[in-house]
Structure 1
Amino acid sequence: MTDPAATTPRDSAATADFAGSGKRVFRIEAAALEAVSARLDGDFTRACQLMLEARGRVVCTGMGKSGHIARKIAATLASTGTPSFYVHPGEAGHGDLGMITDADVVLALSYSGESDEVLMLLPVLKRQGNPLISMTGRPDSSLARAAEVHLDVSVPEEACPLHLAPTSSTTASLAMGDALAVALLEARGFTADDFARSHPAGALGRRLLLHIADIMHTGADVPRVHADATVSEALVEISGKRLGMTAVVDGGDRLLGLYTDGDLRRSLDAGVDVRTTPIAEVMTRSPRTIGPDALAVEAAQLMETHKIGGLLVVDDAGRVVGALNIHDLLRARVV
């Protein structure tokens, strides 16, 4: 005999409306965010002021799912110009409270406002004089009443049909944390360059911090010949330096022109005698160049726009000081 219990999950899955369930969650959580947004008032402003005026950092704490949200809020604050870190409330009671100085502001999350591990920290924080901002779903809770500022993230209902798993409530808390971070970012005048400096390994960091001088070839690695060199001598330079081009310079290293692999093919098609023809007769005059202080991403844009594979780098006096090609940009992960 077949066990009915063994077939029930499969039968249920066959008839489940997964997309419908997903859309219902989005509707409920969107309504929750609207409800919390409507309550942003003077308490939100005071919370921002406390964080902005802090002599130290914003210490975020919370237990369970609230702890996960607190950890993310701390990371977002730190990456947008507000020094912040997360402290686990359980570990705090066993020594990590020493990480919190009297110059810090504490942001404590607990949807019930009654998490024992968080409440246990309050007497110590009060004695130390730390301003306390609470984020709960119950304005009458112990944590909310103990705080200088309370942020109400209560939601009409959880998206979980059992009304057990934190869903809408954690989304609301996460959004409140983002709202704090963005409001502080704008108040500080935090810029994209500031963001890049705290994300040097990320794509944005590379786009905003990496300059041509950081990746260009320099010195003897820069292919160059003088104007009286022959095309064959230029070809030797191109092959030796392996950048697919060579600069043509005068005696002071000032740029006169450029000769590339593509120019060589055109020269051969035109029947040019590469052994006797001076490079000055077939080079590209006034080629596109870039300065060493420009961003590497600008070089990528130039190459893409003009369909070229490399650029010479010149200083303000027109002297060739470097060279780079698309492969250099690829190695630097700019493109």
Structure 2
Amino acid sequence: MTDSISSGAPDYRSSALRAIRIEREAIETLEDRINGEFTKACEVIMACKGRVVVTGMGKSGHIGNKIAATLASTGTPSFFVHPGEASHGDMGMITPQDVVIAISNSGSTSEVVTILPLIKRMGAPLISMTGNPNSVLAKEAIANLDVSVAIEACPLGLAPTSSTTATLVMGDALAVALLEARGFSAEDFAFSHPGGSLGRRLLLRVSDIMHSGDQIPRVLEDTTLSGALLEITRKGLGMTTIVSPTGELTGIFTDGDLRRTLDKSPNVHKTLIRDVMTHNGKTIQADHLAAEALNIMEEMKINALPVTDDDGNLVGAINMHDLLRAGVI
């Protein structure tokens, strides 16, 4: 059988690793460029009373489309305008209240440069993302975000690769900085993404999937350990809550608590659950997002949460399986 890998076969792996290395190095250089220009760009966008209009030609245009989409989905109203189309009527989509982000690696892309006088005349603030800080575009901008790269990952130095990656990452950095500055929340994000599994994950509330009424595993504080174990088995949530006679949650007993308790060889028929339960455990309220319940469980490395009202009374229970069935995980 002829060896499938001859001495003249392409080394796909080496080529791929070289491309990844070059693009990683391009991204690393961006850290030093999160400077006063970046801060100024953020301040201009935060003060914008209109929308952020992103424009760019060719591969820069593709990246610009994604940046506009990311900004729009994270609290900064934004859309993309093709610079060629802008010269043929789409300039009407831009208003003086908008901010324009123009992307060009060379900073001299003709279609972008052509509309610069119109943008300046309109009075819309201009932010540039270029690989040439001395270019026409960079000099006309109120803030220039430097996305220059030493080399492209393309061995011919022709196909935009490292440069588009750097521009994309700079756009993400801008979107995240603005998101945090606005105090944009997971719930805000949900309203921009109501469809599919992402929408379910972000819009579902604990009340939508929790166990309530007789489905809640619960025992009184003077219940024996054996009685608590029977309740855990009956309800099938891997835990039981412990409540006072008035219904106030006072503790929780989980599989983990059981393992720790059995190490002490207790008398399961005489030991009271209040003596082995976990006091002051984590809880969540019914109107919170189910995604918040997931975050608490993952952070605390637990599989279930009691649900309480404002007065600390037990109103429900939720576990990891509920989140899984609901598509939150």
* TM-score after normalising by structure 1: 0.65
Give secondary structure in 2 for the equivalent of 1:56.
coil
Could you tell me which residue of structure 2 aligns to residue 276 of structure 1? none
Q: Match of 1:19?
A: 13
Structure 1 residue 172 and structure 2 residue 166: aligned? yes
When the two chains are superposed, the root-mean-square deviation of aligned CA atoms in Å is 4.9
Residues 241/117 of structure 1: CA separation in 2 closer, same or farther (3 Å cut)? same
CA distance in 2, matches of 1:257, 1:154: 58
Kept after mapping to 2: 8 A contact 1:59/1:100: yes
1:165, distance to aligned residue in structure 2 (A): 0.6
Provide, for residues 128-161 of structure 1, a one-character-per-residue CA deviation record: whole Å limited to 9, x for no partner: 2111122223445443444333344333332222
Any idea what the Cα deviations from partners look like across 1:271-318, whole Å, max 9, x if unmatched?
A: 98xxxxxxxx7873474565442741366359954xxx6554344655
Structure 1 contact 258–283 (Cα < 8 Å) conserved: no
Give, in angstroms, the shift of residue 250 of structure 1.
7.2
* Structure 1 letter corresponding to 2:294: V
Unpaired segments of 5 or more residues in structure 1? Answer: 1-9, 273-280
| Partner of residue 61, structure 1 | 55
C-alpha distance in 1, partners of 2:35/2:282?
Answer: 50
Q: Secondary structure at the match of 2:155?
A: coil
Q: In structure 2, how many angstroms separate the alpha carbons of the residues matched to 1:158 and 1:115?
A: 18
Once the 2 structures are TM-superposed, how far is the Cα of residue 88 of structure 1 from its aligned partner? Answer: 2.8
* Farther off after superposition, 88-97 or 207-216: 207-216
Match of 1:121 in 2: 115
How far apart are the structure 1 equivalents of 2:159 and 2:133?
21
Match of 2:186 in 1: 196
Aligned partner letter, 1:300: M
What is the aligned partner in structure 2 of residue 134 from structure 1? Answer: 128
CA distance in structure 2 between the aligned counterparts of 1:298 and 1:153, rounded to whole angstroms: 35
Q: What SS does the corresponding residue of 2:46 show, helix, strand or coil?
A: helix
2:66 paired residue among 58, 72, 96: 72
Deviates more, 1:23-32 or 1:162-171: 23-32
Matches within 5 A, 1:79-158: 79-93=73-87, 96-158=90-152
**Contact 1:196 / 1:204 at 8 angstroms: preserved in 2?**
no
- Displacement after TM superposition at 1:223 (Å): 5.9
Q: How many residues align?
A: 305
> Unaligned regions of 5+ residues in structure 2, if any?
none
Deviation at 1:87, TM superposition (A): 2.5
Match of 2:273 in 1: 284
Deviation at 1:60, TM superposition (A): 1.3
- Shift, 1:66, TM fit: 0.2
SS in 2 for 1:166: coil
- Residue identity over aligned pairs, in percent, reads 54
Within 2, Cα distance between the matches of 1:310 and 1:75?
A: 36
Match of 1:300 among 297, 300, 320: 297
Q: Deviation at 1:13? A: 6.3
**CA–CA distance in 1 between the matches of 2:15 and 2:123?**
47
- The answer to whether the 8 A contact 2:107-2:136 is kept is yes
Normalised TM-score (structure 2): 0.66
Q: Which secondary structure does the structure 2 equivalent of 1:180 belong to?
A: helix
Q: Tell me by how many angstroms 1:216 deviates.
A: 1.8
**Partner in structure 2 of residue 6 of structure 1:** none
Aligned CA distance change for structure 1 residues 12 and 40 (closer, same or farther; 3 Å): farther
Contact conserved, 1:259 with 1:283, CA < 8 A, in 2?
no
- Rounded to whole Å, the distance in 2 between the matches of 1:203 and 1:59 is 29
> Does structure 1 retain, via aligned residues, the 8 Å contact 2:222–2:273?
no
The AA in structure 2 aligned to 1:284 is I
- In structure 2, the residue matched to 1:7 is none
Structure possessing the higher radius of gyration over alpha carbons: 1
